[in-house]
Amino acid sequence: MQDVLDKIFPNLLRRKEELLQRIDRDSVAGDHYCSRGILPSTPYTLRVLLRLDFHNSNFRIHLLYRLVMADPSSSSSSSSSSSSFQRSYDVFLSFRGEDTRNSFTAHLYKELRTKGINTFIDDDKLERGDVISSALVAAIQNSKFSLIVLSENYASSWWCLEELVKILECIRTMGQRVLPIFYNVDPSHVRHHNGKFGEALAKHEENLRTMERVPIWRDALTQVANLSGWDSRNKHEPMLIKGIATYIWNKLFSRSSNYADQNLVGIESSIREIKSLLFIESLDVRMVGIWGMGGIGKTTLARAVYNQISHQFEACYFLENVSDYLEKRDFLSLQEKFLSQLLEDENLNIKGCISKEALLCSKNVLVVIDDVNN
């Protein structure tokens, strides 16, 4: 079996002893991928279902495999067999189509895909009925993250509300990460069912088909409003979209994010204290310094705070090893590097700029400067 798998997945199975330590013949939960390979000189096809279980920067692979006769005369049978495998996604997008399908959500989906983030978006072709379809439930369950775009008319759709209930179930049952985006709505209106959200729920209560579900939907809206996410009001939309996509990418693929998460044991109270000092909700400029002798974990602490709150800002930058950088280059070069990162412009030239502060005027930014000696 290992020889066969080597031919099909030559790069993935270099470390066979480690990766093949567990083969589950009965069931495979979690992330699903479908692949197939024709065995040389035989009339058989090997169909393989993989589960990639990511933990920190390591992963394990579980395999469910089946050896079947290949039928060259029937392509339909093979396609129907492969369709039974569930596809996994990095992100599931929940949104109200009439509000954001052709605007914010379309741009967010494009940015996520551009960054290589496998994203599920309902193309409005899934059959509608009295309950959300099994295909949609499977997409929710097989996603690592769910992004919920809470727009003005989100609660007017029972379909969206049922999606939300299923997504929140996945927090408890599958450990899914759920992140709300409050798109031109007040989070308190979602939390307390005021404004358009209250009006929509009141209409659902008058409908015999939906009235029994309303208490569940109310609870779900309160739950999602209490989660950490993004408020789009007073934010530059393209920067907000880039920030969301970058945050998801870092959580999925960034080694530095994984490293910081591994080292949170024992510093949770310090993280909470720094976050309280930053008072993120304030519109004022805040500065917090972490001081102490070398080697006590200042950078680890700063990185952990940065990873937890960076998604709440329009732009962010973790400027590492400043002292070493200034030994080799001048301060103007450091400024240029700093502003280029925040403004996402690699060709930025600030030498002729009279007011460098104006470049970041009215932007909500987070900056961590590491290794400052004086």
DSSP string of 96-126? -HHHHTTTHHHHHHHHHHHTT--EE---S-S
Sorted by sequence, the CB contacts under 8 Å of residue 174 that are 6+ apart come out as 30, 141
Q: Please provide the DSSP assignment of 280-316 as one string.
A: TT-SS---------TTSSHHHHHHHHHHHHGGGSSEE
The pLDDT score that the predictor gives to residue 285 is 84
Closest CA to 164 of 228, 225, 251: 225
Q: Model-level pTM? A: 0.51
Domains of the chain: 2-83 (no CATH), 89-231 (3.40.50.10140), 254-369 (no CATH)
Residue 317 identity (one-letter amino acid)? Y
CB 307 within 8 A of CB 263: no
Cα 342 to Cα 365: distance, rounded to the nearest angstrom: 8
CB 61 within 8 A of CB 52: yes
Per-residue pLDDT of the chain (374 residues; tens, 9 = 90+): 445 444 444 444 444 444 444 333 333 333 333 333 333 344 434 444 444 444 444 444 444 433 333 333 333 333 333 333 455 899 999 999 999 999 999 999 999 988 878 899 986 544 455 566 888 899 999 999 999 999 999 999 999 999 999 999 999 888 899 999 999 999 999 999 999 999 999 999 999 989 999 999 999 999 999 998 999 997 889 999 999 998 898 888 765 455 445 555 578 888 889 988 988 877 788 889 988 888 788 888 888 888 778 777 777 788 887 887 777 777 777 777 777 777 666 666 656 554 556 666 667 788 888 888 76
Which of these is catalytic: 163, 169, 320, 327?
Answer: 163
CB 270 within 8 A of CB 288: no
The pair of structure tokens assigned to 373 is 């000696």
Taken in order 274, 277, 283, 286, is the CA torsion positive or negative? negative
163 is catalytic: yes
Specify the residue for token string 């396609």. Answer: 79
